[in-house]
Amino acid sequence: MFRSGTVMAWNVFRFCTALRGLGSIMILLVLAVVGVTYYAVVVSNYFPALYDGGLASLSALAVLILFHVLLVMLLWSYFTVVFTDPGSVPPNWKPALDEERGETDLLIEAEFGGVPLNPTNPRIRYCRKCNQLKPPRCHHCSVCGRCVLKMDHHCVWVVNCVGALNYKYFLLFLFYTFLETSVVALSLLPHFIAFFSDDDLPETPSTLATTFLAFVLNLAFALSVLGFLIMHISLVAANTTTIEAYEKKTTPKWRYDLGRKRNFEQVFGMDKWYWFIPSYSEEDLRRMPALQGFEYPSNPDFDAQEF
């Protein structure tokens, strides 16, 4: 029995190590899909259509402008998720005195499976892998090998954990990916239909194959990303994460639900001008610990009552 458990733990470790090694491969795969799509939409079809004149030229110009704007936003959001730390536990972090006495409404061990520091105080969670205390809503990522604040999941597509500090960027990546792939699928649909017609097509076989591949890939991504986007919108509305949605199970009242407006602002910030770009205003950056429901003891300017 012990041997079987040891082998299972070893296999899980090998799996996590393999996921960690996928980094550059997944980034190259994303760029390859973007490259195929760019060639099919811009080079093969709509840039040459600019010289046709009349309504065809105007339609091609509109498609090209929309395609490039969404592409810039998609790549900006994507690489922001990739290179943004999702949120680490500050060194030597300790809960406030009132938390140690159990006077605050911390998540209990039974709800989130955290190992308690000692049996007399089950409200303070401790990570045996990181050998440190775990703040509320913090989880250990086996792929990254560390605890992540408000961890949602580890995403192999962005080669990073999705947590407190990059969740907004991940949502924007999903949003712009859905818009971009939908635009591409719609713009290539006439060419895709023509692929099965009996008419003689002016395109070369390689161009037809690229257009066909780009249409299928983008349609598949649009449909799959739409499902993820709807799921994460519902999570934001309830101020929960993928992990928490699974682990809280039958909890009657979610203690972090502040109402849809404040739940949204906790992720996207309070400055409306920054809601649709992968960045925060200076004011929101200053408020970030409060917006995420976490106080950094090393930040003397933080006021927990401000938000």
Q: What angle do CA 243, 258, 114 make, to 5 degrees?
A: 30
How would you write 157-200 as a 3-class SS string?
Answer: CCCEEECCCCHHHHHHHHHHHHHHHHHHHHHHHHHHHHHCCCCC
Main-chain phi, psi angles of 105, to 5 degrees: -95, 65
The torsion defined by the Cα of 178, 181, 187 and 188, in degrees rounded to 10, comes to -150
Catalytic residue among 138, 141, 155, 161: 155
130: tokens are 């990181």
Supply the DSSP symbol for 150. Answer: T
CA distance 305 to 307: 6
Alpha-carbon distances of 269 from 87, 194, 302, rounded to whole Å = 16, 46, 16
155 tagged catalytic: yes
The residues carrying an active-site annotation are 155
